[in-house]
Amino acid sequence: MASTKDDKIPELGDLIEIFRGAYQHWAIYIGDGFVVHFSPPIECTPDGSCTQGGLLSTVAQVKMEKLSDVAGKDEYRINNLLDDQYDVQPISMMVQKAKTLLGERFTYNMLTSNCEHFVTEIRYGYPESCQANNPLVKLSKFGLGVLYFLLRN
């Protein structure tokens, strides 16, 4: 079962940072234990086996799920990281925008269009990702790109 790092209860529009080892997954809280987040879609074959795209995915889908399901056993915290830099959108506007986007698929790029960009755009009106600006993440992305190129050729 997931646990919070600070035992705070999320409020509507809060950004949720989920710690997944080498990276963080981000979601926005929309009430009643649910979050909206942006992640690679789960693809199922006719035989019933399902897989979820990983870091090399180029498409992600907007989903609404229970926070407890998204976090799984990983720790998470409320992290409205840019509140001191940007105005926060009205709560009703954030929740409505998040729900309007449910099911939509968009281009996924670790550096320019990831789950953190998605939630910061909803909360602040500006897509930003602090983890994508980290030099180690950029180096990892370059390494994954080279690996992907080598595997395809």
Candidates 44, 115, 117, 130; catalytic one: 115
Is residue 14 within 8 A of residue 80, CB to CB? The reply is yes
Backbone angles phi, psi at 47, to 5 degrees: -80, 0
| Ranges assigned E (strand) in the chain | 15-20, 23-31, 34-39, 42-44, 50-52, 59-66, 76-78, 105-107
Candidates 37, 50, 117, 130; catalytic one: 37
Catalytic site includes residue 117: no
Catalytic site includes residue 115: yes
Tally Cβ neighbours within 10 Å of residue 136: 9
Give 131's Cβ-side CA count (13 Å radius). 20
Q: Catalytic positions, please? A: 25, 37, 115
